[in-house]
Chains A and B, each alone.
With several copies, the nearest count.
Chain A
């Protein structure tokens, strides 16, 4: 069993409305020392796979096809083997 931790965030060139709103709201309520805000998604998957490489390849494919919109979003992930106990 493998565990993948996946981060999806906007590419730097894309203006993110959610981050903008959070930043403006923070400024309004007095947290005006916050300089930058970025908002992303965080996924955890557990999956069975013959080996680490296979797990990574599958996770990459899932990210590319589904979890991220590659027009506007970038992703990165780590895959770790879980103890055999499972």
Chain B
């Protein structure tokens, strides 16, 4: 066994630099500690003071988020946030990024991302009922990207499928910016009784800390600081950090933990999952939240390998582990529950009378630092952003010029961003638990809430194209677009979770993007009454110094109170009137059309009118609730004609539409728009409700999509378009 360097040797040889801690951070730690830290102590600091755990760069930005309204039961700060949905029930949700691990090891990286976010949900006491995955890749042109997509999708599917939580939705975006830095974000949604919310705290001197689940091994050691570091294609050493997911173990863990929160509430003080920075972060955070201290005996920790050092044990990110704080005298009662599921459950320490975080191994004290030193005393950096030159001097507007309606539509429908994603989501079990009313493939997913007469609508959205042009407007658009997805199903948006995927925050231009997009997100969440209840930060999405386009992912949950008013995007019958809600203008900068034609996006974005957005959404929701419309779809990638085509596919019912716009306008991505169809009997009522917000475009018809634009007409067979759209992605992934 190697001997660890002494505190004085550490001071001079600075091993912590490799773990992502800077010299001044080391000095800060030593000064606050009042002596030189030993190897274990400074190792724990490197994990706890990483961006992943301490949010040292993003904290000032996250503070600006709007996190409360009258429905929020628990906001950010715990494993996941909680919102009341009525009838005594609450929805719990959170999203997490696993971009780095998935880039290194796509299958296990994606799988353990799903495993991790599920633990966040049941740590609150909620039954996980749905998973969504938001993915972003380069265009699938080369074998590497195809393999990457295959493995990420396999990893997500194999985990969710085995554990028995349906993957009901998500998104898959393609843009050159993600070629070397894919995004793998997963969201989990749970449902629980309002009264049973569980927090991750370790209070009450003498109470037991019980370690539950998989044994600790040398996998993923110090993954938190690894995820908070920038990424180099040459750096093969990163490969040692691979963790393997065990969905079977996690299934047992979910069932056992939910049994504890349901039947042993009196014994349980707190529960938390072991995520980033493993044992140290779960235990220290639990102590921190209760303002207590604790002593742990590392010899008691279930270990998979011999001779693990305290550094390795505490910073291992072995999966499928949970930490419980249990009242003295109830240890056996709780351990018995886990034994019934064949799970390891061991008392590894106690809450102490002081505020120290003390670790023992082989009878020696290997760490003795104040809890606050690892939590509240982590540095916070107030970066100043600098506007990138390309934003200060935006390029001229993109003019698509004279396009051919039909050829353009066919190309857009086959672009992988718009192409039918069945090739991806059919690898996910979307129906297990038998609550899925609307699964993947439409806009938002809809699941029923057992024990109520309600349903939840779920969606994820991100769009780096807009944020690349204007992070603030783009941030607001992302929130608005997620809300539109929900509203089109008939749901009232309740709140959001997010994954903030950005580049290196120490670079002023990257920090600018982060801070500006937060402004947009805050404005939109206030306008749409959707507070942020949880989220996750993934910075350092850079490869060889090149950052991705700022790509916040918004996961949004909405509520449907009337199960008879669930709307779908498919046209239902011929002869109904088709309306667009919202204004169509020449919005081509940042559009899919621009990415397809020019290979990248440029130009200026039109500011988002949030009041108008809110008004349009309220109208659509009203119209659905009053049963006036028979189909509803939001207009997003590829614009109005793309939305019309998608609405035609379900039942082979197209539409004949006309407007005096230039042909390209049918692909414009003006915000705030929906398409609805209205049966003849409801036209008067609908028009009275909508007033000037709705413009009649034409009527539905069997089997054909026909368009009359200024100077150009198009007629296309719906079945042919559908086939192009349906087969494109499977073909491109081959």
Touch test A–B (CB under 8 Å): yes
Q: Which of the residues B105, B249, B305 comes within 8 Å of A71, measured between beta carbons?
A: B105
Shortest distance from the beta carbon of A21 to any chain B beta carbon, whole Å: 7
| B633–chain A nearest beta-carbon distance, Å | 37
- Of residues 197 through 218 on chain B, the ones whose CB sits less than 8 Å from some CB of chain A are 214, 217-218
Of residues 95 to 135 in B, which have CB atoms within 8 Å of A's CB atoms?
104-105, 107-108
Nearest A residue to B221 via CB reads A13
Are B244 and A69 closer than 8 Å at their CB atoms? no
Question: A71 to chain B: which residues have CB within 8 Å?
Answer: 104-105, 108, 239, 242
Residue of A nearest to B247 (CB): A17
**A72-B248 contact given A13-B305, A14-B219, A15-B214, CB 8 Å threshold:** no
Tell me if B318 counts as interface (CB < 8 A to partner A).
yes
Q: Determine the chain B residues whose CB is within 8 A of the CB of A53 once the complex forms.
A: none
**A13 pairs with B239, CB closer than 8 A:** no
B217, A13: Cβ atoms closer than 8 Å: yes
B153 CB, min distance to chain A CBs, angstroms: 15
- Select from chain A the residue with minimum beta-carbon distance to B151: A69
Tell me the smallest distance from the CB of B197 to a CB of chain A, in Å: 31
* Distance between B363 CB and nearest chain A CB, rounded to angstroms: 27
Closest to A28 in B: B734
**Is the Cβ of A14 less than 8 Å from the Cβ of B248?**
no
Q: Are A72 and B246 interface neighbours, CB within 8 A?
A: no
Chain A residues whose C-beta falls within 8 Å of the C-beta of B304 in the assembled complex: 15
- Most interface-central of A15, A21, A69 (chain B CB within 10 A): A15
Instruction: Output the nearest chain B residue to A29 by Cβ-Cβ distance.
Output: B143
Number of interface residues of A (CB under 8 A): 13
Determine whether A58 belongs to the interface, using a CB cutoff of 8 Å to chain B: no
Instruction: Determine if B249 and A72 form an interchain contact, defined as CB atoms under 8 angstroms apart.
Output: no
Q: Does B436 contact A (CB under 8 A)?
A: no
* Structural contact, B108 and A72, CB atoms closer than 8 A: yes
Query: A72–B245 Cα gap in the complex (Å)?
Result: 12
User: In the complex, are the beta carbons of A17 and B248 less than 8 A apart?
Assistant: yes
Any A CB within 8 A of the CB of B225? no
| Complex Cα–Cα for A13 and B104 (A) | 17
Instruction: Please tell me which one of the listed residues B107, B143, B239, B243 contacts residue A15 in the complex, with CB atoms under 8 A apart.
Output: B243
> Is B342 engaged at the interface, CB distance under 8 Å to the other chain?
yes
In the bound complex, how far is the Cα of B342 from the Cα of A20, in angstroms?
12
Most buried by A among B104, B217, B244: B244
A20: chain B residues at CB < 8 Å are 246
Contact status B242-A72, CB under 8 Å: yes
Instruction: Report the Cα distance A72→B304, complex, angstroms.
Output: 16
Q: Nearest residue in A to B318 (C-beta to C-beta)? A: A15
In the complex, chain A residues whose CB is within 8 Å of the CB of B342: 24
Within 8 A of A (CB), among B244-273: 244, 246, 248-249
Q: What's the Cα separation between A49 and B472 when bound, in Å?
A: 59
Residue of B nearest to A17 (CB): B246
- Chain B's nearest CB lies how many Å from the CB of A79? 25
As a 0/1 sequence over residues 51 to 78 of chain A, the CB contacts with chain B under 8 angstroms (1 = contact) are: 0000000000000000001111000000
Closest beta carbon of chain B to A64's beta carbon, Å = 13
B306-324 Cβ-contact flags toward A at 8 Å (1 or 0): 0000000000001100000
Can you show 23 pairs from A to B with CB atoms below 8 A apart?
Answer: A13-B217, A13-B219, A13-B305, A14-B242, A15-B214, A15-B244, A15-B246, A15-B304, A16-B244, A17-B244, A17-B246, A17-B248, A17-B249, A21-B248, A24-B342, A29-B143, A70-B239, A71-B108, A71-B239, A71-B242, A72-B108, A72-B242, A72-B244
Q: Which residues of B contact A (CB under 8 A)?
A: 104-105, 107-108, 143, 214, 217-219, 239, 242-244, 246, 248-249, 304-305, 318-319, 342
Question: Residues of A at under 8 Å CB distance from B?
Answer: 13-17, 20-21, 24, 29, 69-72
